[in-house]
Chains A and B, each alone.
Chain A
Amino acid sequence: MARRRRKQRGLESFEVTVDLMPLMSMFISIIPMLLLSAVFLELGAIKMQLPSGDPNAPLTAVEKESLGLTIYILDDVFAVEGRGLPRQAAARAHDGVEEGLMTMLGQAVATHPENKDVIIGSGPEVRYQDIIQVMDLARKVGLESVSLLGTGAI
């Protein structure tokens, strides 16, 4: 009996435990490094199609019939025009809430609901963020296909 007890005691003393501390230390080093280099911004993309042909080529029949709705971004003014539409202008608010432009685009969409195209003509020194904001506004009223117009046209 006594020998068996001693044996059992001996077995107890050889209980194996995995030492997790080194692994944990490694994890604690890796995780802050990964967190520091991680990007938490949700990024997206606005797709643009550029013409692959000759820019000086004459307009096609479809292009001639299209509304040709164009938004011009100038220093303090937005101007909207299109074939058969009166040229309108609205002051820029510069605060992200461009009510004047929204109204003008809303009117153009109401009179030509089939049109989904819009051209954005921008001055050479207009900020990129402002152009993106106008693209967002155009998309909001249903103008999903956006093109950019070169500086020379303004």
Chain B
Amino acid sequence: MPGVRRNRRVRKTIRAQRGSVMITSMMDILTTLLFFLLKSFVSDAGPSTPPPGVMLPNSTTEGQVENSIVIAVSHESILLGEKPIVKVSDALARDGIYLEELGGSLDGAWAQMEELAKRAGRQDELTAKVTIQGDRDMEFRVLQKVMYTCNQRGFDEISLAVVQGS
């Protein structure tokens, strides 16, 4: 019996000496970080992230990005949301400054927004706003065609998206 007791004592000592990492504090850090990241995702839910390949120009403006229809202009194409509407080269090759494909897509997007606002009972809050996320190297004639098309479809409030503070 004394031998058994000794064995138990030895096992207990070994168990006590076996090192264990305290992960509780690490869990606290990770949980805080996770909540912070999720919060920033929720607050950035507006039209803030430009699509890949679009480098926005720098500006000292303090104006904030608002929720609106987003038109992005990359080197290759003009996109409504994330959907390519017309190639930049095709848009430039045309004589006129009105882009029919973009105009049609804007009408479709507006109809969808109207439908959603109607369901939510927020028709009064609906305004014809567009944010243009143009690449910094885009030529003015492309911007002019996009802005003219927006204006022709009734979108009078246009915002130009920029990277702040440089």
Number of chain A residues whose Cβ lies closer than 8 Å to a Cβ of chain B: 42
Pairwise interchain contact A45-B64, C-beta atoms closer than 8 A: yes
Q: A74-91: which residues lie under 8 A (CB-CB) from chain B? A: none
B77 within 8 A of A: no
Known: A27-B27, A45-B162, A150-B144. A39 touches B34 (CB 8 A): no
The answer on a CB contact under 8 Å between A122 and B140 is yes
Q: Give chain A's interface secondary structure class.
A: mixed
- Of the listed stretches A18-26, A56-64, A102-110, chain B binds A18-26
Residues of A within 8 A of B161 (CB): 43-45
Which of B24, B56, B59, B135 contacts A135, CB < 8 Å?
Answer: B59
- Contact yes or no, A128 B59, CB < 8 A: no
- Distance of B68 from chain A, by nearest CB (Å): 9
- B154 CB contacts on chain A under 8 angstroms: 52
Interface size class of B (residues with CB under 8 A): 35 or more
Contact between A38 and B41, CB atoms less than 8 A apart: yes
With contacts A44-B65, A50-B158, A128-B137 known, what are 4 further pairs, Cβ within 8 A? A48-B158, A49-B158, A126-B140, A128-B135
The residues of B with any CB-CB pair to A shorter than 8 Å are: 23-24, 26-27, 30-31, 33-34, 37-38, 40-41, 44, 48-50, 56-66, 97, 131, 134-141, 143-144, 147-148, 150-151, 154-165
Report which A residues bind B (CB closer than 8 A): 20-21, 23-24, 27-28, 30-31, 34-35, 38-39, 41-52, 122-129, 131-133, 135-136, 139-140, 148, 150-151
